[in-house]
Chains A and B, each alone.
Chain A
């Protein structure tokens, strides 16, 4: 079995591990680092539940092998959450019924965090396009879109929650 030394910073914390080549980044985060906030649905790049930020850009962690993240900075849903309470986007999800079973939620939050950073005042269409790569099998899209637009407004006002 081929193992490679891999250095990766996850949610601000540096990790150095000897990693088997075929280990996906998603499995690395969950099994090696115990960060189970990143969910695995399909494991072939369709559902978007495993979305994380790699150097600030959203990516499916099931479609990266962990050794590819060598030297990268990764942010998972855990890294989006402040030490106390919830982020404005997370609070908007709670307030707008943006989650039901919660399985797709980590991927939705990560994807929308990138969207709101790049597009602070998105249209409903832009929100819908941003989450085309994230499946919600509760079909709770209406609440999710509403939450994203609400969070954008809160963030623009700078009022946080």
Chain B
């Protein structure tokens, strides 16, 4: 047996889970377990209690209503990958999920787990950042809604208090026909990305950019929006020169340096991957731009 001993709880109601989290000392939430269990097997994490939220029906599901796509925290990554609603309303997520781990881990891994774990290189937090998602958080004090930019605090750190859990995530639905692109670089398929870029574009008549969003993962301690790039894109005619100019703003991020890649290399990747993501987004929005890098 690899993990240290712990007590296991499997509540069936959200309120019951919130009660357990409020009263149990040193409790961890078990969602898909694809990050928590390896950390427990290594004994990086030693919990006295595991609260398995997998049996809470209210945490599962995908619902498109009122201009939002609401996804329950326990929805498996593989369900999202295969969901017609996600493909229709939030196509960038499907694109990003192709890079998330492997088939076996996506079968178990959940969107809520990925957000709560908050690995800076993870793809789903970047998807939340680029869409300005809203995270709904539950506890004994009730529900609160937190914009993703306030939810992601830093390296593996979120706005969640120790007795709180993610209940659902809302993604604003962008106009049909919007462009989207996701690119990342990892040493092997399924590895954590050294850097990744997610782009969304709405393009009007005469190729004028009406709405733009660009986010990076793997570069900074948490997924970061490249606001300078968005400013350069808005109201301008979308072409190769504009994409180059916007992606150059990705070099302005303050990158992390570690054994996997230097900060300079990450800065280079951020720019190249931003060009690729924006190019895909432009083409899907109906603007013909050549492959730049």
Contact = CB atoms under 8 A, between A and B. Distances in A.
* Pairing of A with B: yes
Interface of A: 1-2, 4, 20-24, 27, 43-45, 48, 51, 54, 57-60, 62-65, 67-68, 70, 111, 114-115, 129-130, 132-133
A45 B107 CA distance: 13
7 contacts: A4-B8, A24-B41, A44-B42, A58-B103, A63-B38, A111-B103, A132-B103
Contacts of A64: 33, 37, 108
A133 B104 contact: yes
Contacts of B5: 1-2, 20-22
Chain B contact patch, size range:
20 to 34
Nearest to A19: B8
The majority secondary structure among interface residues of chain A is: mixed
Given A21-B6, A22-B4, A44-B42, A68 B33 contact: yes
Interface of B: 1-8, 10, 30, 33-34, 37-38, 41-42, 50, 52, 54, 78, 101-105, 107-108, 188-190
B188 A132 contact: yes
A27 B1 contact: yes
Contacts, number: 95
B52 to A, nearest CB: 6
B1 A24 contact: yes
Which of B33, B41, B50, B104: most chain A Cβ within 10 A? B104
Contact of B1 (A2, A20, A54): A20
A65 B54 CA distance: 13
B41 A62 contact: yes
B14 to A, nearest CB: 19
A68 B30 contact: yes
A21 B52 CA distance: 11
Contacts of A67: 8, 10, 52
B33 A22 contact: no
Contact of A68 (B1, B52, B104): B52
Contact of A133 (B37, B38, B54, B102): B102
B269 to A, nearest CB: 21
Contact of A63 (B1, B33, B52): B33
